[in-house]
Structure 1
C-alpha cells in the first residue's frame, strides 16, 4: 500500500492511496471461504458448494466491501498522524472511482480531497474588544412589570361608557362594502387625535375613521388579522360598538401576592416589589450573559482569523447533506457556518493548550438547571425534583446520545469563555436596561 499527500493549496490537498493485490486479496479469500461454509446454493448441500462457484457469485461484492474497509481505516489512520487540523470529511474523487473495473483490475488507486487548517494558535495577551456587562434595574422597569402584573391579574368589566385604555369589541366595515370584520380595537394603540372619537362611546354607537391613519402600530398585529386584510384598511370605515371591555387593575394585597408567587411566599408590598426586582434582574442577566458570550466570541474570531478551505467546505456541505441543501443555500448560509466553525476550532485549541475539560458532573448540573428552567412555569414544584433523575436520563439518552454531546460541548465552551475572560482581563461594567437594549440594536 502506498499513501501520498499533495498540498495544492494552503488549506486543501489530495490524498492518493494505491492498493496492490497483496493488500486486499488474503482478506477477500478469507471472507469468501467463510461464505462458502454457510452458503446455500441450489444443487449443493449447505456449505458444500465449490469455492470457485462461491467466488464467482460473491467475489466482486466481497472485494468492494473489503477494499472500502481497508481504505476507510488506512485513510483515517494516516490523517490522524498529520499535524494539521482536518475539516469535514475526505471527499472521494467520484470520476476516478467510476472508471474502476472490479472484475479485471488487480491494482487500484483512489483519490480524496481534504480541507484543513495548518496551524491554530491563540494569543490571549492581546486586548480583546469585549466587556463583561451586568444589568442594573431602575424603578422604571420594576414599575412597568408591576403595572403588567396588576393588569394581568385584574378583573375584566364591561362599563357603559368607554375610556382611554379600553378595548372596543365590534364590527369594522368599509363604507364601500369591500371589507367587514368583527374584532377587538385597543384604544391605547390609536393616535392622540383619533382616539378622542372613541372615548365616551356606548354600545351601538358608530364611529367613522380611517384605520390606516388612526392606528399607530402594525395594523395586522394590533387588530390580530392577516397582512393581506390589513392592507385593505385604508380610506373611510365605520366601527359599530358591540361591547366595551375594561381591565380593572388588581389591588396590591395578599390575594395578589399569593396568586403571583404562591401561598405564603410574600407577605408585604415591599417584599413583593423586591421579588419582582430579583426575577427581572435574573431574566435580564440571562440575556446579558448570552450577549457577553457572543461579543467575546466575536472578538476572538476577529483577532484570530483562520484560513478556511471555503470551496472544499461548501462542496462537502452539499454532498454530506445528500440533497437537503442546494449549492445556493449553502452559499447563503456559509458565512454563519464559517464563523461558528472558527469559534469551535479556537475553543478546542484553547481547551487543549490549557487542559480545560468538561466533566461528567458538570454536564449533569447544567442539564438539571436547563430542565428546571424549562419546567419552572409548569407548576410541578417539588414533584419536579422528585422526578429529576427520570427527566435527566430521558434527555441525556435522547437523540441517539447527541443531547449528551451537545451539553458536553456547551459546558466546555462555557469553561473556555470563563478562562478567556479571566486571562484576557475583560473589564466589568454595570449597565441599565435602556443601555443594554441599545447594545442589542447595534
Structure 2
C-alpha cells in the first residue's frame, strides 16, 4: 500500500499483516527523497528516528500492543511546533542558526506519539506563519502557491509523501493550503488543541489542526491530538441535515468557477435529501477583516517586539509590515477590535440556534494563484476570529485543472458533529484527480 491511502486503510493493512510500519515509512522516505528537491515541502527529515520508531511499532504490533489510533503512521509537523531534538526554525534563517534544539515535544506532538504516530520530519512554514511566501511549490502546478502558512504540510500530504501533517491557522493557514493542494483540512474550535510548544502568531486567534487526504482521517488525527479515547462516529443521513449557505460577504468575493462548483456541489447535497437554506451573515461581518488583522498584528507585535528591534533584517517584507502595524496600534483600537470579536462570536452562536447543522462557504476565493502570494484568507479569517470549527475538502477542478474546495463551519465545540456532517457530504462527491 502507498502513503496516498487513508489512515484507516493503512491501519487495517497493518492489522492484517499485509503492511508494516517499516514498509510505510520507507515508502514515505523514498517519495520525499525523489520529489522534495522540486517540491520543497520539508525543512528536515528524521530518517534514523523514523526508521527506529517504525521498527519498534512493528515489534509491538506483533506482540499485540497497539498504542493508539496512529500506531505506526508517519506524520509531518509544521516547523513552528516543537519536536524534541530539532530546532524550531519557523521559516527564519537566523533562528535555524542560533536557536537550540527543542528540549521537549510540544503538547500536541507528545499526544501524537502517545497515539502511536511516528514523527517523520518538520514541514516548511512561511516565515513565522505569516504572509511572505515560502519556497514550497504546489504539487498541482509548480508555478502555483501551495498557500500558507502551512505550505509544506499541505504540499507533502498532497504529494503522497506522508499520510497526514500538522498545520496551524491564525487567518486561513490550514484551510487555504488544503484547498489549493486538493486535500482536507480542519481548524478545530479555538483552544481544542493545546498551543504549548507552538510559536505564536496571535494567541487569541491561533489554532493547530490536521491536514489529511480524507475527512475520516481528520477525525483520526483530531482524536489523537486531543487524546480523545472514544469518538461517536455514527454518520447522519443526508435527509436529516439542515445546511446553511452563507451569501454576500463570501460569494461576492469568489471566482465564477468557484461559484459554479459550489452550486453543483450543493445541488448534489439537496438531491441526496439535505435541506438547504440561504443565510445572511450578521452585520458585524462588514468590518471583520479589519478587526481580525488588527488583533493579529497587535498580538504578533507583542511577541516579536524585542526580536524585531534587534534583528529587523531577518523579517520578510509582509510580516515586517504586519508587525509595524501592530506596534502602531493603540490600546483603545485593540480593545475595540476585541469587543467586535466578542460581538460577532455571540452573533454566530445565535445564528446556530436555528438548528443549522453546518454553514457552507467556499474554502478559498479561487484556485491557487501564482507563487508570489499565499492567497487571500478572507474566506477563512472570520472563523479563526470567532473560533468556530471548520472542515474543508475538495469539490472539483478549475478549467486549469487546479483544485477547488468547500468549507463547512460548525457551532462552537461541535467538532465531532461537524466531522460527521463533512464526511457524509464528502462521500457524495467523486474523487478529485
Fold similarity call, TM over 0.5: no
**For the pair shown, which has the larger CA radius of gyration, 1 or 2?**
1
Greater fraction helix: 1
| TM-score after normalising by structure 2 | 0.20
| TM-score after normalising by structure 1 | 0.20
